[in-house]
Amino acid sequence: MTPRHAYPPLTLRATGLVCGRGGIALTAELAFSVTPGQCLLLRGPNGSGKTTLLLTLAGIVAPLDGSFALDGSDPESGPQLHYCGHRNAIKPRLSVTENLAFWATLNGATGITPEAALDEVGLGALADLDAGYLSAGQSRRLALARLLVSHRPLWLLDEPTAALDLEGHDLVTRLLDRHLDMGGFAIAATHDPITLPDPARMETLVLGARA
């Protein structure tokens, strides 16, 4: 079994956060907080700002207004989050293992080994294949494996189940559940229902709801 890894007790707190692209606000003022062991699900129609909110929290897009902070984080300790976006950031000319091992080194190999991570996401048999030959679902699994090789407390997942089969949905649920067990927390934008075994851990934030 994976070793327990206790994260420092962090809280993501957003106050009056307005996200938007190109100067156009996509979300109303958002206020939420996510604590260890919690998963915040973002829901809402296309274009309601789910991805923008995740990119804002990842520091890629500047918020239009308001602020957010990771309370309790040590400013010395480097990046605290994994972002898993629409694009899988996979190099087709490198093998599956090379792709994963690179990110393990670059993000700090604090998690399970790349081999174990590949077995976990069901790509163990394809380790030496060029990643360019992977199907969309398999690429997604490889992107998810990246979350496992380096431990970081906050996961920002954008449509984690996109292109995945039914077993893949279970995989995402399993990985999320284990991540929360270890004291991590996550924000996931999704259209698919993700049901964790313990519903108390899930909260839902609906974006773009017309009042």
Contact positions vs other proteins (CB under 8 A): 21, 55, 58-62, 78-79, 81-83, 85-91, 93-94, 98, 102-103, 105-108, 146
CB atoms within 10 A of CB 30: 20
- Cβ 60 to other proteins shortest distance, Å: 5
CA–CA distances in Å: residue 142 to residues 1, 60, 101, 132: 20, 22, 11, 12
**Among residues 58 and 202, whose Cβ is nearest to other proteins?**
58
- Cβ 37 to other proteins shortest distance, Å: 22
Strands 20-21 and 81-84, how do they pair? unpaired
**Among residues 107 and 161, whose Cβ is nearest to other proteins?**
107
Give me 85's structure tokens: 């976006």
CA-nearest of 169, 119, 168, 125 to 148 is 119
**Among residues 98 and 203, whose Cβ is nearest to other proteins?**
98
- Cβ 161 to other proteins shortest distance, Å: 17
The residue count of the chain comes to 211
Residue ranges in 123-188 assigned as alpha helix (H):
136-149, 166-181
**Among residues 61 and 202, whose Cβ is nearest to other proteins?**
61
Question: 39 in helix, strand or coil?
Answer: strand
**Among residues 90 and 121, whose Cβ is nearest to other proteins?**
90
Whether residue 47 contacts residue 54, with contact meaning beta carbons closer than 8 Å, is answered with no
- Cβ 113 to other proteins shortest distance, Å: 15
- Cβ 23 to other proteins shortest distance, Å: 10
